Amino acid sequence: MGYSDDFHIFGVHWEHDTITWYIDGVMVHTYTNPDVGYQLMYVLLNLAVAGNFDNGSVPPSGSLPAAYVVDYVRVYQEADPD
């Protein structure tokens, strides 16, 4: 089963020194560094087709046109503790 077989919930929890990624409620990666910090962020949804964008590769035959179906996007912000 791949990601394109059904809808999935992707999540990111951003803290002062850690970013944690989730897929369907399961933590899949954590990055910790004091330089993470908080700053203004934007949500970007991207349909990328093929890889290695910098070497002139083209999408596999039959991969276009492609559909990018998003059911919903939610953004939460923790209350400021001050």
Ordered by start, the domain boundaries in the chain are 3-55
- Sequence-ordered alpha helix ranges (H) in the chain: none
- Contact residues for 7 (Cβ-Cβ < 8 A; gap 6+): 71
Tokens of 31: 């990055």
Higher pLDDT, 27 or 17: 27
Model confidence at 64, pLDDT cuts 50, 70, 90, reads confident
Higher pLDDT, 13 or 80: 13
Residue 35 DSSP class: T
